[in-house]
């Protein structure tokens, strides 16, 4: 499938009263996605289950954010962060994610993520921050930053 630049610019706004939930195995492959996750991301459950969670990764996300996420959850701590994700149709949506371990008899067996909407101001602020992080680390960015 090919997409024009403008399709990257279409935002799906996450409703206030919805929770986007997914779980992964310890390697980051999706083991569960709720209905809201499917609706917002534009994928069916069948398309998501078994896929690496970077299936929804947006090119604007800095690598550093995910390195921090993995380091945090592998140390059995909770990671809270703002994430811009890419839909199947290449549009995007912003969320705040709380990612942590799922334990069975005290043993870490999976990871889970619960996501809620963020404000317009938080989106703008985080886009700027992530653009700066990407530029600093030599990753591709789609606009010029004057600083
Ligand atoms: C429970 C859980 C949920 C995740 N949710 C997302 C997500 O919504 N979007 C995303 O881009 N990466 C998410 N990740 C991180 C991905 O596994 C992956 O590290 C990230 O997309 C970066 O991709 P890369 O490792 O191929 O660079 C999640 C990881 C876990 C363990």
Q: Characterize 1-36 residue by residue with b for buried, 16 or more Cβ atoms within 10 angstroms of its Cβ, and e for exposed.
A: eeeeeeebeeebebeeebebebbbeeeebbbebbeb
Residue 56 CB–ligand 1 contact under 6 Å:
yes
- Break the chain into its structural domains and give their ranges: 7-136
Q: Characterize 40-67 residue by residue with b for buried, 16 or more Cβ atoms within 10 angstroms of its Cβ, and e for exposed.
A: bbbbeeeebeeeebebbebebbbeebbe
CA 86 to ligand 1 center in whole angstroms: 12
Positions of the chain with pLDDT under 50: none
Q: Are 76 and 68 in contact (CB under 8 A)?
A: no
- How many beta carbons lie within 10 A of that of residue 88, not counting itself? 15
Q: Are 61 and 54 in contact (CB under 8 A)?
A: no
Closest CA to 58 of 126, 144, 138, 147: 126
Q: How far apart are CA 72 and CA 54, in angstroms?
A: 17
Identify the residue whose C-alpha is closest to ligand 1 atom 30.
Answer: 28
Q: What is the pLDDT of residues 47-56, one digit of tens each?
A: 999 999 999 9
Q: Which of 37, 49, 54 to mutate to test the pocket of ligand 1 (most atoms within 8 A of CB)?
A: 54
CA 114 to ligand 1 center in whole angstroms: 13
CA 68 to ligand 1 center in whole angstroms: 11
Identify the residue whose C-alpha is closest to ligand 1 atom 20.
Answer: 54
CATH 3.60.15.10 at 7-136, yes or no:
no
pTM for the model stands at: 0.92
């Amino acid at each position: 499938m090919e997409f024009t630049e403008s399709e990257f610019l279409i935002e799906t706004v996450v409703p206030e009263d919805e929770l986007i939930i997914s779980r992964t195995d310890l390697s980051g492959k999706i083991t569960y996605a709720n209905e809201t996750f499917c609706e917002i991301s534009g994928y069916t459950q069948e398309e998501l289950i078994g896929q690496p969670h970077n299936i929804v990764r947006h090119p604007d996300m800095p690598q550093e954010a995910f390195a921090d996420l993995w380091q945090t959850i592998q140390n059995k701590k909770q990671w809270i962060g703002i994430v811009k994700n890419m839909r199947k149709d290449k549009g995007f949506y912003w969320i705040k994610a709380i990612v942590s371990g799922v334990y069975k008899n005290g043993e870490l067996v999976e990871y889970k993520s619960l996501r809620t909407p963020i404000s317009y101001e938080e989106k703008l602020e985080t886009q700027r921050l992530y653009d700066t992080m990407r530029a600093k680390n030599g990753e591709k960015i789609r606009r010029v930053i004057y600083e």
